[in-house]
Amino acid sequence: FSLLQHNNHVSCCRICVITLAEAHPLLQNGKTITSINYQISANCSRLQNKVSGKSKRGAQFLTELAPLCRISSSDGEEYTIYSCIRGRLIEVNENILSNPAILQEKPSTEGYIAVVLPKFEESKSVTQGLLTQKEYEEVLSKR
């Protein structure tokens, strides 16, 4: 996964956008995405997330290991994409359901997977264990 963070200077919170990392297998070797499913279990669909108001009432709470969606590719592989951070699910990108190609063509912009708002108390520590873009590129170059 890749995590993009935006500081909202008005409310001092950090909105996190979950995307596929450049090295994710779905972005390698010419794979084709056949389906994206936000239905996590029989009782849980990320599409049913309904958020309202400043306090983001109704938002589903996610842990680091909470699945966001499952993505299937033409070679039969299925990938579960996890939240990777604790917080409230603000939105999922429904556009990738009807146009899965944008997930591969524009993974860090229009092809994002979800937007998560970390708990205010945790917002500053969310990225402490994550790699910067430069560190990530160094790891990739060593593979």
In a domain, 4, yes or no: no
How much is the pTM? Answer: 0.78
In a domain, 1, yes or no: no
Q: Is the dihedral of CA 79, 111, 91, 55 positive or negative?
A: positive
Quick one: what percent of the chain has pLDDT higher than 90?
Answer: 48
In a domain, 3, yes or no: no
| Greater pLDDT, 22 or 140 | 22
Instruction: Give residue-wise pLDDT tens across range 47-94.
Output: 998 888 877 888 999 998 999 999 999 999 999 999 988 899 999 999
Give the H or E element holding residue 83: none
Number of domains in the chain: 1
With contact defined as beta carbons under 8 Å apart, do 51 and 88 qualify? yes
CATH number at residue 73: 2.40.50.100
DSSP state of 120: G
Show the domain range for 135.
16-142
